[in-house]
Structure 1
């Protein structure tokens, strides 16, 4: 596990005047494409340090956002008032990357809840992308439907009440990664507010309705032992997206954060092979 302090954040301003942090790792030689990372819960841009090193070595320009209220970004911690705001901030980062490297093919990788937000982004901006990698999609979660419904209801009465905690131990089988997460001040005591749960549920509902409109090349990845999200959600995405070029890979026994889990090299190899095929 690479520490998040090894690569310093940069910032742009949101429409609300908040400082939104991101990281940029430069290609070792002449860049051939751009990859933008979007993180999920219990995470931030620093968790893409190792994947970024693998990608930049293969001459990809790599960017990773800290969504508002997370990582080094401004905003109420872990609070999503409107998921569309987060999609808009992701769009700003894609625009920034493309203006810095005009003409390069651009790919997006969204992890978990970041995969949900990225999927909404794909619905709205397919013309800006050459492909989408969806990792550990938080389209279906282990919580019972009635519990999610209760949390959505509470979001109207107590929007800022912190109610949903994910276990760091469920993210990786690598004990060093879990220890890093447990000591990381940027995700310390991370508990999701009811409003955040409601907004992700609304995004999921929109995807269920509109998923067939996605036609980009897709690489969908999930671990079969993921306790935070269900592999069946990734299967649903694969089955319902209209993309002709789509691949689903299920990794037997892998946990939630595939790029910080044991055997992450296998997953990274699959991502690099897919990306390289798309830009060659």
Structure 2
């Protein structure tokens, strides 16, 4: 649960640290995954008073499609390298970006400064750019989101501007409802709307439950020392309130909200031991959905970050399921 007493003060920036592939690197606790394809250079794109760090990863063969990745709370491009590399090796190009409020797009005092308007306005802009490129290539664009990004992805399938042009939707551990282990006390929920309105840009250190997020010891060590892009895990009151409300709409399904999801293929993958986002809420969303082509994959012994921070064996199982789902529709 966010610690409202911890006001964030950043003492380091990316330029203060040694770099590997354009990322700050700890020699003692490096990023564990070693890509088999070349790590592409990031591209920085200006839009609506922000400069976004973006990453396009080409396929090693003629692409069958492009996966557009929407990251989770406090994440950034490097945490997608493992998934993007595997997609490239299996015939899919991919694209991702550090969202407003995260990563190299928003360092220091800008960390967490976003809101519901910016989340979807930024996403619309970059989906539009990706649709232009994929349409020129004649390949489908698949939306993928993890955790907070999973909640964004599911909501986009319901009300997103370009939802009809997205070929398919996919998520891991989507934020439909926080797990009881992580959810704030009811008293916090009562004052949250007021705080988000009066102090929208107040930064808090939400804390990192590394055992709940990662299923591999090496990734846990990396996360705990991933400064300054990953740690400390900072958000603003407005950002956190908005992503919880976003999930609430999916969970409560008022006026059949979930049934308005565009008729496109959907796969949801969730670890049953996830204590960040509640897999039971994901199941409720899935059951409420009226989509013809939908799949829910639950993994009994896995935690939260299935396609970024799991051990090799678990990652291979989940990625194999995802690759099979993609190939059965786009190969």
Tell me if TM exceeds 0.5. Answer: yes
Equivalent position SS for 2:72: coil
Aligned to 1:175: 217
Aligned to 1:49: 81
Alignment partner of 1:139 is 2:171? no
1:244 to 292, 302, 305: 292
Aligned to 1:110: 145
Aligned to 1:11: 44
TM norm structure 1: 0.92
Distance 1:232 1:266 in 2: 21
Alignment partner of 1:157 is 2:198? yes
Aligned to 2:238: 195
More helix by share: 1
Aligned to 2:259: 212
What do the CA deviations read for 1:60-81 (whole angstroms, capped 9, x no partner)? 110012101211114710232x
1:232 to 280, 285, 290: 280
Give the deviation of 1:3 after TM superposition.
7.4
Distance 2:237 2:52 in 1: 23
Task: Tell me how large the CA RMSD over aligned residues is.
Answer: 2.0
Distance 2:142 2:149 in 1: 14
Alignment partner of 1:120 is 2:152? no
Distance 1:278 1:57 in 2: 18
Equivalent position SS for 1:11: strand
Aligned to 1:257: 305
Are 1:116 and 1:138, in contact at CA under 8 Å, matched by a contact in 2? yes
Are 1:105 and 1:130, in contact at CA under 8 Å, matched by a contact in 2? yes
Equivalent position SS for 1:22: strand
Give the deviation of 1:204 after TM superposition.
2.4
Give the deviation of 1:57 after TM superposition.
1.2
Distance 1:7 1:177 in 2: 22
| Farther-moved stretch of structure 1 (237-246 vs 147-156) | 147-156
Give the deviation of 1:233 after TM superposition.
2.0
Q: Which runs of 5+ in 1 are unaligned?
A: none
Aligned to 1:62: 94
Aligned to 2:55: 23
Classify 1:119/1:145 alpha carbon distance in 2 versus 1 (closer, same or farther; 3 Å). Answer: farther
Distance 1:225 1:149 in 2: 28
Equivalent position SS for 1:243: coil
Give the deviation of 1:106 after TM superposition.
1.2
Q: Which runs of 5+ in 2 are unaligned?
A: 1-31
